[in-house]
Amino acid sequence: MAGGGVGDPTGKKKKYAIFGVTSFLLVAMVIAVAYGINSGDHQDGSNPSAEITTSSKSVQSICQPTDYREICEKSLRKAAGNTTDPHKLVQAGFQVTIDALQQALQNSSTLKEVAKDPMAKQALDNCKELMDDAIHDLKVSFEEVGHFDVSKMDEYLENLKIWLSATITYQQTCLDGFDNTTGPAGAKMKEILTLSSQLSSNGLAMITGLSSMLKDLNLAGLTGRRLLKDNSEFPSWLSHEKRRLLAQTPDTVKPDIVVAKDGSGQYKTINEAVHKIPKNQNTTFVIYIKKGIYKEQVTISRSVTHIMMIGDGATKTRITGDLNYAAGVQTLQTSTVSVSGNHFIAKDIGFENTAGAIGHQAVALRVQSDMSIFYNCQMDGYQDTLFAHTHRQFYRDCTITGTIDFIFGDAAAVFQNCKIVVRKPLENQNCVVTAQGRNESREATGFVLQNCNITADPEYYPVRFENKAYLGRPWKEYSRTVYMQCQIDDLIDPKGWLPWMGSFALDTLSYSEYENRGPGSVTKDRVTWKGIKKLSAQDAAAFTVAKFIGGDLWIPATGVSYASGMMNV
């Protein structure tokens, strides 16, 4: 029969089969061209290195861009057998990493006996959650490789880089929890995670290497982003009746659940409502939270996806808490609200931690939701207000307040048209807006602040030259932050950026300022570290919403107003 198979009059099955074969051939060709799999063969067909099989050469090629090449080759040869299929080799790399993390998770239980310090015990509990998150992202990556679609090459590779970056971050966050704890638990956990950390790094290197090869080969039509056309095409998870939700108000949107402290809704607390949300759904579920102060710790778990929370205003609907490090709570667990489920949307809501400057690390909002949006929201705190932990995040028209490192984490996050307000710290403290935590140079993460207003809270204003404020400092070795087209008031010290400790990361970080304005934007007295980068117009374009977080693929359907590229300011 001509055309497609039985029951497939459009021929789609045949088309997809062709795409699948093409995908395999493409990846195989790229590896062969870039690394010369058969370069050892003579014209007469003989091979002086006969002991190196084609499979072995394929493994060497896949592992070439990695930092831990010996471990990569050894693990792949053992896991992949004699296959030369690039898909299966990459999947084998992910699988051995999953296995290593699962083994680390089992081994971590042996640390209970040595984790005498209460904070170390909390860190150990956090590690179990974080390793589970890392395993999840690796499994998603494994499946993505299996469903590779050549027509969406660029989108496919960017997804993998984001998820693998998160896998690395979760393991580092686990280890960070043992800082300032006593006993051997931290050192033992670092030992337990050594193999999985190296394998995670190798996985990211493989995907980054493939991405670089494709760009070098300039294969036309295979790396273009798929854009939404006039907002008429929407992601499958956004149902027709709930599209353009962020353009709606409580008066026009039809919520699935209403929360109200005064009893006028179905529930009086947000947690009651969250427990009623269907798991793993693929259409948007709307929770309307009426005005009021909700003192509760809210967690949106990984299995609760496609949630939209809409309030009556960022100063009217407020979720508040006061857990803090000074009171003996690990930073990760101080969050008033934690969001892990992907495609989370919040509008007109306030998130707050009231511990104050004396509480030290005290998180108002922690986000690891991929493709999440916060629109017209407010995050209030002091130290560590917003933990932009992992994945792709977009903040538009938000207000974020704090003192030290109050926007921190390792997400790929863009803050657009936001008001960044520095508050008064303790007497002996300086203030730092950002502490971005990129662990490796290949990670597709960083903070971009575009057309934001960096300003002083009225209580901080009189002491702004005594308790100095800085744009950021490097929490991790490859910390990356860009301020562009922002209004920066005179509170920012002329040096601009602050070291973390000594010369740590000053050569490897990536900090940039581009087309900013205001008295605090003058760069003539800025620090001159090797990691300070001067951007061209083309360089700056790489940090726009469209390019840095692929926003044109997922933001338009929600109806949020945003600038895809550079702004007219």
As annotated, the active-site residues are: 405
CB atoms within 10 A of CB 99: 17
CB atoms within 10 A of CB 263: 8
CB atoms within 10 A of CB 567: 16
CB atoms within 10 A of CB 116: 13
Task: Give the separation between CA 82 and CA 462, rounded to whole angstroms.
Answer: 70
Task: Give the separation between CA 301 and CA 308, rounded to whole angstroms.
Answer: 14
The alpha helices in 185-225, defined as continuous H runs, are 185-192, 194-217
Greatest pairwise CA separation for the chain in angstroms: 86
Task: Give the separation between CA 329 and CA 123, rounded to whole angstroms.
Answer: 10
Task: Give the separation between CA 244 and CA 323, rounded to whole angstroms.
Answer: 35
In terms of Cβ atoms closer than 10 Å to its own Cβ (0-12, 13-18, 19+), residue 261 is: middle
Q: Which residue has the tokens 């050569």?
A: 507
Residues 438/446, Cβ–Cβ less than 8 Å: yes
In terms of Cβ atoms closer than 10 Å to its own Cβ (0-12, 13-18, 19+), residue 106 is: exposed
In terms of Cβ atoms closer than 10 Å to its own Cβ (0-12, 13-18, 19+), residue 382 is: buried
Strand stretches in 113-199, DSSP E: none
CB atoms within 10 A of CB 318: 21
In terms of Cβ atoms closer than 10 Å to its own Cβ (0-12, 13-18, 19+), residue 74 is: middle
Residue of 314, 344, 317, 347 whose CA lies nearest to 246: 347
Task: Give the separation between CA 540 and CA 484, rounded to whole angstroms.
Answer: 8
Residues 237/284, Cβ–Cβ less than 8 Å: yes
DSSP bridge pairs for 470: 432
Distance of CA 531 to the CA centre of its chain: 22
Retrieve residue 195's tokens.
């193999």
Task: Give the separation between CA 206 and CA 106, rounded to whole angstroms.
Answer: 27
Task: Give the separation between CA 474 and CA 499, rounded to whole angstroms.
Answer: 7
Residues 145/163, Cβ–Cβ less than 8 Å: no
